[in-house]
């Protein structure tokens, strides 16, 4: 864990206090209506759309000086997007940052939920590119809003039906739609459907920010989250037929890593912190010796 003096000359966490207040109001409303997309006046951020401007604004609005921030991208703390957002908040807020899930009070994420269960008091902030789960089926915003208002969600199942008709099973593997507290259908952002069960009854607060689309939505702690499915094609998460090659973890989401140009490859934890923590405890996978060399 490292603390950083604020060095930027900007207001704390970059955004001015009025803007943060506006975003907090949207967040409060979103928490009050789990799964409902609350419009907010998304600001220009010093990074391009698609780099997590929605998540960054949410994080900036909830960040306090004593918070400890972790940022992951596809489960990893050391990819460009994660590093630059972490650096950004180090400079503009001077907060402590960490790569350890257990130590963080706020975790901003793109496309993954950490493997270790989150606990009360933690906040998970998702970067969302397209918040509207009905968008690809119904392009009109006026119509999708009405469909949410009237709970007209038949179209979501049309999409899943098409999946089964084409592939024999539900082939949607990420951004898999969920229904919140039996009411709103929500896009969990492009996380793998492997992570959907982690959203259900999570002890942590989950906040979703879409910068370009100017929407915030939320799951308060202990919220009922159900993945949509058919009775005869129930929701299932991806299964991996081997453990992590580095730490031997099973029942975790694995990334494929190409080792050479002769077809060599290995499967390792996508959650780097999880993998490193296990290795620190002395747990080993089949390639850990070789990979360490």
Partner 1 sequence: MNAAAAQIENLDRSSEALPLLSVRSVSKAYGARIGCTEVNFDIWPGEVLAIVGESGSGKTTLLNCISTRLEPTSGTIAYRMRDGEMRDLYQLGEAERRFLLRTDWGFVHQNPADGLRMTVSAGANVGERLMAVGHRHYGELRATATDWLGRVEIGADRIDDQPRAFSGGMRQRLQIARNLVTAPRLVFMDEPTGGLDVSVQARLLDLVRGLVNELGLSVIIVTHDLAVARLLSHRMLVMKDGRVVEHGLTDRLLDDPQAPYTQLLVSSILQV
Provide the binding-site residues for partner 1, judged by CB under 8 A: 146, 149-150, 152-155, 157-158, 161-162, 164-166, 229-233
The CB-of-139 to partner 1 minimum distance in angstroms stands at 11
Tokens 């991996």, located at residue: 240
The whole-angstrom separation of Cα 227 and Cα 195 is: 11
The CB-of-141 to partner 1 minimum distance in angstroms stands at 17
Cα end-to-end distance, the chain, whole Å: 27
The whole-angstrom separation of Cα 41 and Cα 50 is: 17
| DSSP designation for 69 | E
Residue from 54, 55, 211, 247 carrying the catalytic annotation: 247
Torsional sign, CA 14, 78, 81, 30? negative
Strands 215-219 and 225-227, by their bridges, are: unpaired
| Nearest to partner 1 of 234, 263 (CB atom) | 234
The CB-of-57 to partner 1 minimum distance in angstroms stands at 33
50 is a catalytic site residue = no
Residue from 35, 75, 121, 154 carrying the catalytic annotation: 35
209 is a catalytic site residue = no
The CB-of-142 to partner 1 minimum distance in angstroms stands at 13
| Nearest to partner 1 of 103, 229 (CB atom) | 229
The whole-angstrom separation of Cα 141 and Cα 156 is: 16
| Nearest to partner 1 of 88, 153 (CB atom) | 153
At 228, list the tokens: 């949509």
Residue from 55, 75, 269, 285 carrying the catalytic annotation: 269
The whole-angstrom separation of Cα 197 and Cα 211 is: 26
244 is a catalytic site residue = yes
* Nearby residues of 34 by Cβ (< 8 Å), 6 or more positions away: 180, 181, 183, 184, 218, 219, 220, 223
Residue from 52, 211, 275, 285 carrying the catalytic annotation: 275
Q: How many CB atoms lie within 10 A of CB 52?
A: 30
H helices of the chain, where?
17-32, 53-62, 80-93, 141-149, 154-167, 196-199, 272-280, 288-292
| Nearest to partner 1 of 9, 234 (CB atom) | 234
The CB-of-54 to partner 1 minimum distance in angstroms stands at 29
| Nearest to partner 1 of 112, 148 (CB atom) | 148
Residues with a known catalytic role: 35, 244, 247, 269, 275
């Amino acid at each position: 864990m490292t603390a950083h003096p604020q060095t930027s000359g900007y207001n704390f966490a970059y955004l001015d206090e009025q803007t943060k207040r506006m975003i907090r109001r949207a967040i409060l409303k979103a928490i009050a209506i789990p799964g409902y997309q609350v419009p907010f006046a998304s600001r220009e951020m010093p990074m391009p759309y698609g780099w997590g401007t929605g998540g960054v604004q949410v994080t900036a609005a909830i960040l306090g000086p004593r918070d400890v921030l972790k940022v992951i991208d596809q489960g990893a703390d050391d990819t460009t997007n994660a590093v630059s957002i972490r650096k950004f908040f180090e400079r503009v807020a001077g907060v402590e940052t960490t790569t350890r899930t257990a130590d963080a009070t706020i975790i901003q994420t793109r496309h993954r939920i950490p493997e270790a269960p989150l606990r009360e008091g933690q906040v998970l902030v998702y970067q969302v590119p397209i918040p509207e789960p009905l968008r690809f089926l119904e392009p009109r915003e006026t119509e999708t809003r009405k469909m949410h208002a009237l709970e007209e969600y038949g179209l979501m199942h049309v999409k899943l039906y098409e999946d089964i008709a084409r592939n024999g099973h539900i082939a949607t593997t990420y951004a898999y739609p969920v229904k919140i507290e039996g009411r709103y259908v929500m896009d969990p952002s492009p996380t793998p459907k492997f992570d959907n069960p982690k959203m259900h009854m999570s002890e942590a607060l989950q906040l979703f920010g879409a910068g370009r689309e100017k929407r915030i939505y939320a799951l308060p702690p202990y919220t009922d989250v159900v993945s949509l499915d058919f009775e005869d094609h129930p929701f299932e998460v991806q299964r991996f037929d081997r453990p992590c090659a580095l730490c031997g973890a099973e029942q975790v989401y694995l990334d494929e890593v190409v080792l050479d140009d002769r077809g060599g490859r290995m499967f390792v934890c996508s959650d780097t912190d999880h993998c490193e923590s296990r290795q620190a405890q002395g747990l080993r996978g089949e390639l850990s010796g070789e990979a360490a060399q």
